[in-house]
Chain A
């Protein structure tokens, strides 16, 4: 019963994962027992079965047996008439709608809320993966280790957020004295904090558990590498302009849904052994559908200043503002169609935002390479014989299940922006300039002056210094 509820319609190799219903009475760590038996290990760090997917409430106690069905009562009643397969569809469908509307609400609420949500998602994903590690290694009782994992999470977050804050809130930081010291020696402080954790780890090594402890140390670090760094790339993308945050995430979601639909209606040839339910038809159909969707979405969003402008922190009003002159990317331009398309559509030129062309690249990546993130997560779940990362979202699994493809997309978008779109951040450059020695500053000043005069931006009659 339970496995049907959790049945992921697109990919569920049941033969591999489910050899029996999870046994609530199977002893302390139910997940450890399931690892032994190769059956479902339904990790349930969250006992609340609410539809709110972003809740951070963690009341997970390992010894409590898992109620197998955590679909909320209301949905159960509403769907009690349907057969179990359709019930599953409906549960997933309703939850999908809930998640998407939640997404819209958060966008409406603004950048600050988005940052908080990204932080929460990151913490939840970290928690899910670490919990899996504990279960796999039966190391729930290792001394210090939970403290140390959370401590490392805090350190790395402090490091990354500190760098972001220093860049974007430059003036605010310069004003407040303690913030200034913190930002000046930021790297040193972060390193010292990390070292403290490292030394604590070394001191906590216990004779019988060396290998376990090293495994958990490695596990924590790899998780930090994957989850935390990429959530910070997401925030960097966000600051570049909310459109760089919304469009990639939407493309990935759309690709998921479209590939599923195409696979459902036309699917025939399996794509990869890792995920037997994925098909080539779904893959290719999803690619084209996502590209079209991306173009349309960016067309709609590029005209709206709220999405397009870089998020700036206004020092006077102490709040975020998104108000600016849209850059060239977001101004309609005329493109001459190649003759092939001309004859087909009868237009000679078409007016597009340059951003839409970029969105084609983003959508293609989301459809072609993005799924590898999903395959990686599937392989990971197969390897450790778990069905889902957690049970946070009924019908979908854990937060990590939803976000596995997003991480690779976020990294790509960040690299894409850095390589093709934006130059360095001017305030950061000024900051670095001011940190140089005076003679170096003078040298740069003269070189810059010569450069600007060459380019005609400065009248050539400047004769200073």
Chain B
């Protein structure tokens, strides 16, 4: 019954692991979840019509216009066209949002996070038939707000330091931020304990754990995405584009050359797609990094200008984004007849990012496929016709975002200077003095300060 889905049946794409492979490998009934009854093409809409449990009636929410336009084609091609047609608005809205600037991006990330959280929690409700548990929906959303408050508070305090110091209530909130967040979380925890109802203990604990694991996965990683963004929009755009590119390339390679299955979880994925996707993603990532490194808009850390109260992306590009000459190893020298090559160092980092996206990123997709098999659902939701829910599109992104963040933290950037200075100011005066002297001798050693003739302490 649920096979007749909006995907249009049998013709699967090797890349969409979830749709048809479910059917072939799992042979059991699937719960046709349609989390959203809306069928519009607008990807980033946050409007959420209340879900109806197991409404198998409305499984096809391809909009009327598309259905009419494609009614002549066989279902397999129809499916392709729908997916293709929808990929384009998704990619263009991505470009649009990038153009609109950091604030729009943050809002979009937040919207995606809320939608993913909602999708996963809805699945939890379905699985446990716990739609009517007292308090639970309130508590889930409350915990989401708490964790978001905690993370955004930390970000705001870091990046908007000047603004925060000016406003008195903000200063108070920033100083006791952890305590306030913890108190808010505890209030939710106590409400949960008080809401335990005799017959439903186990269900309630399951939902509690489900909520927390979802928060752990979705919310923390969306904040890592935002921190990557503040590092420079290129650190946001390039990883996301690389994952999308790997998806598409692996699909194309699999479509044309696919023969050997890759993993039992996703029978449509093939080794040819995997390896072909890997190489093409590395190359495309490299080219994209090379193209983008020239623009200050992408490369500079996003700063909040306290005077104009806006974000500004202007700076002196760091070493990473300045062309440097690299001597080619002898092997490549003979092959290409070039001795040196001008590259942005960032392009070399992009090779690592692309490799991760191609080699490890798919495990995020396998994890989501396994999850869907485990709970016998076909897609996380039906928000995007042809593609499933928001979570379906973003399952590989989360792992990539975490990796990018760890990568930046380990190999690229040092700690944030304004944050360090703020911590300095919070120390005791004797400690500050001690640090001052240490720093002084350190800088003198390095020749940044003239060796002091007049220094007396």
Residues of A participating in the B interface, judged by any CB pair closer than 8 Å: 184-185, 187-188, 191, 195, 198-199, 201-203, 205, 207, 210-211, 213-214, 218-219, 221-222, 225, 272-274, 369, 372, 375-376, 379-380, 382-384, 408, 411-412, 415-416, 418-420, 423-424, 426, 429-430, 432-438, 440-445, 447-449, 451-452, 455, 457-459, 461-465
Please determine whether A198 and B367 come into contact, CB atoms closer than 8 angstroms. Answer: yes
**What's the Cα separation between A272 and B438 when bound, in Å?**
57
The verdict on B435 contacting chain A, using a C-beta distance below 8 Å, is: yes
Cβ of B354 to closest chain A Cβ, rounded Å: 16
The reply to whether B439 and A383 form a contact with Cβ atoms under 8 Å apart is no
CB distance A436 to B178 under 8 Å? Answer: no
A436 and B420: CB pair below 8 A? Answer: yes
Given A274-B196, A412-B182, A464-B449, check contact A441 B212 (CB 8 Å). no
A443 vs B212: C-alpha distance in the bound complex, in angstroms?
Answer: 42
Q: Closest CB of chain B to A234's CB: distance in Å?
A: 16
Interfacial chain B residues near A420, Cβ < 8 Å: 179
Q: Which of B133-141, B202-210, B307-315 contacts A (4 or more CB under 8 A)?
A: B202-210
Residue of A nearest to B127 (CB): A211
Given A202-B367, A412-B182, A424-B423, do A376 and B189 touch, yes or no (CB 8 Å)?
A: yes
Q: Complex Cα distance A335/B415, Å?
A: 42
- Partner of B204 from the list A383, A430, A435, A442 (CB cut-off 8 Å) is A383
| Contact residues of B between 170 and 196, Cβ < 8 Å to A | 175-176, 178-179, 182, 186, 189-190, 192-194, 196
Asked if B432 is at the interface of the complex by the 8 Å CB criterion, the answer is yes
Q: Flag whether B429 is at the interface (Cβ < 8 A).
A: yes
Do A416 and B179 touch across chains, with their CB atoms under 8 A apart? yes
- Which 9 pairs across A and B sit closest by C-beta, in order of nearness? A210-B374, A383-B201, A188-B410, A419-B179, A211-B374, A383-B202, A424-B423, A423-B426, A432-B415
> B317 on the interface (CB 8 Å rule)?
no
B433 at the binding interface (Cβ < 8 Å): yes
Contact of B193 among A201, A274, A440, A442 (CB under 8 A): A274
CB distance from A180 to the nearest CB of B (A): 14
* Option from A203, A273, A457 in Cβ contact (under 8 Å) with B429: A457
Q: How far is the CA of A295 from the CA of B456 in the complex (A)?
A: 47
Interface pair A202/B435, CB less than 8 Å apart:
no
CB pair B421–A376 under 8 Å, yes or no, is no
Please determine whether B196 and A432 come into contact, CB atoms closer than 8 angstroms: no
Contacts of B194 in A (CB 8 A): 272
Interface residue tally of chain B, by bracket? 35 or more
Other-chain residue from B186, B417, B424, B452 in contact with A443 (beta carbon distance below 8 A): B417
Assuming the A-B contacts A191-B406, A435-B415, A463-B454, are A424 and B363 also in contact, with contact meaning beta carbons closer than 8 angstroms in the complex? no
B446 touches A438 (CB 8 A): yes
Q: Are B201 and A382 in contact (CB under 8 A)?
A: yes
23 inter-chain pairs at a CB distance below 8 angstroms, sorted by A residue, are A195-B399, A198-B367, A199-B363, A201-B367, A202-B265, A202-B367, A203-B263, A214-B370, A218-B210, A369-B186, A375-B193, A379-B193, A382-B201, A412-B182, A415-B182, A419-B179, A426-B434, A430-B438, A441-B442, A448-B424, A448-B435, A459-B456, A464-B452
Assess whether B448 is in contact with A441, with CB atoms less than 8 Å apart.
Answer: yes
Given known A-B contacts A202-B363, A372-B189, A207 and B264 have beta carbons under 8 A apart? yes
Q: Which chain B residues border A463 with CB–CB below 8 Å?
A: 454
Residue B340 CB within 8 A of the other chain: no
| B420 adjacent to A464 (CB under 8 Å) | no
Contacts of B205 in A (CB 8 A): 379-380, 383-384
Determine if B166 is an interface residue (Cβ-Cβ < 8 Å).
no
What's the least CB distance linking A128 to chain B, in Å?
16
On whether the beta carbons of B198 and A214 are closer than 8 Å, the reply is: no
Which residue of chain B has its CB nearest to the CB of A211? Answer: B374
| Residue contact A187 to B452, C-beta cutoff 8 Å | no
Contact A210 B373 (CB under 8 A): yes
Closest to B26 in A: A207
- B360, B426, B432, B455: the one contacting A462 at CB < 8 Å is B455
How many Å lie between the Cα of A306 and that of B456 in the bound state? 37
- The CA of A435 and the CA of B431, in the complex, are separated in Å by 19
Q: Is B257 on the interface with A (CB-CB < 8 A)?
A: no
Point out the residues of chain A lying under 8 angstroms from B196, CB to CB. 274, 375, 379
Judge whether A218 and B411 touch: CB under 8 Å: no
A358 vs B72: C-alpha distance in the bound complex, in angstroms? 76
Return A438 CB to nearest CB of chain B, in Å. Answer: 5
User: Are the C-beta atoms of B448 and A221 separated by less than 8 Å?
Assistant: no
Interface on B for A, CB 8 Å cutoff?
25, 175-176, 178-179, 182, 186, 189-190, 192-194, 196, 198, 201-202, 204-205, 209-210, 212-213, 216, 263-265, 360, 363, 366-367, 370-371, 373-375, 399, 402-403, 406-407, 409-411, 414-415, 417, 420-421, 423-429, 431-436, 438-440, 442-443, 446, 448-450, 452, 454-456
Q: Which residues of B contact A437 (CB under 8 A)?
A: 414
Contacts of A447 in B (CB 8 A): 421
Which residues of B lie under 8 Å from residue A465 when comparing CB positions? 443, 448-450
A430-B435, A448-B435 known; A442-B420 Cβ under 8 A: no
Cα distance A251–B428 when bound, in Å? 30
Q: Considering the chains assembled together, what is the distance between the CA atoms of A423 and B432 in angstroms?
A: 11
Q: What residues of chain A lie closer than 8 Å to B434, measured between beta carbons? A: 426
Closest to A218 in B: B213
**B437, chain A: closest CB distance, angstroms:** 10
* Chain A binding surface SS class: helix
**Distance (whole angstroms) from the CB of A15 to the closest CB of chain B:** 12
CA distance A379 to B454 in the complex (A): 69
Chain A proximity of B435: nearest CB distance (Å): 6
With CB as the reference atom, state the residue of chain A lying closest to B442: A434
Known pairs A205-B265, A379-B201, A432-B420. 20 more at Cβ < 8 A? A187-B409, A195-B403, A202-B265, A211-B375, A214-B375, A218-B210, A221-B213, A221-B216, A372-B193, A375-B193, A379-B205, A412-B182, A415-B178, A419-B179, A423-B428, A429-B427, A432-B423, A440-B414, A443-B417, A451-B425
Question: A457 and B455: CB pair below 8 A?
Answer: no
- Chain B min CB distance to A9 (Å): 22
**Which residue on chain A has the smallest CB distance to residue B183?**
A415
Cβ-defined contact, A455 with B429, below 8 A? yes
Q: Assuming A187-B410, A191-B406, A423-B428, is B435 touching A464 (CB within 8 A)? A: no
Least CB separation from A426: chain B residue: B431
By a CB distance below 8 angstroms, the chain A residues around B428 are 423
Whether the pair A185, B420 counts as a contact (CB closer than 8 A) is no
Q: Which chain B residue shows the least CB distance to A429?
A: B423
Beta-carbon contact of B265 and A435 below 8 Å: no
Nearest to A456 among chain B residues (CB) is B429
Chain B residues with CB under 8 Å of A445's CB are 436, 439-440, 443, 449
Q: For the complex, what is the distance from the CA of A379 to the CA of B431, rounded to whole Å?
A: 47
| A443: B residues at CB distance < 8 A | 417
Residue of B nearest to A377 (CB): B193
Instruction: Select from chain B the residue with minimum beta-carbon distance to A190.
Output: B406
Q: Which partner residue on chain A sits nearest B454 by CB separation?
A: A463
- Residue in contact with B415 in the complex, picked from A198, A219, A436, CB distance below 8 Å: A436
Instruction: Evaluate contact between A198 and B374: CB separation under 8 angstroms.
Output: no
Q: Chain B residues with Cβ under 8 A from A199's Cβ?
A: 360, 363
**Residue of chain A at shortest CB distance from B446:** A438
A210 to B367 Cα, complex, angstroms: 10
Q: A416-B179, A448-B435 are in contact. Are A384 and B455 (CB under 8 A)?
A: no
Q: How far is the CB of A376 from chain B (nearest CB, A)?
A: 5
Chain B nearest CB, measured from A326 CB (Å):
14
| Chain B residues within an 8 Å CB radius of A376 | 189, 192-193
Chain B residues with CB below 8 A from A218, complex form: 209-210, 213
**Chain B residue with the shortest CB-CB distance to A443:** B417
Contact, CB under 8 Å: A222 / B213: yes
A224 to chain B, nearest CB (A): 10
**Chain B residues, CB < 8 A from A184:** 410
Measured CB to CB, the nearest residue on chain B to A206 is: B264
- Shortest A312–chain B CB gap in Å is 14
| A444-B432 in contact (CB<8A) | no
**Complex CA–CA separation, A416 to B423 (angstroms):** 17
Q: Please give, as numbers and ranges, the residues of chain A lying within 8 Å of B25 by CB-CB distance.
A: 207
B370, A419: Cβ atoms closer than 8 Å: no
Q: Which residues of A contact B193 (CB under 8 A)?
A: 274, 372, 375-376, 379
Closest chain B residue, CB of each to CB of A223 = B209
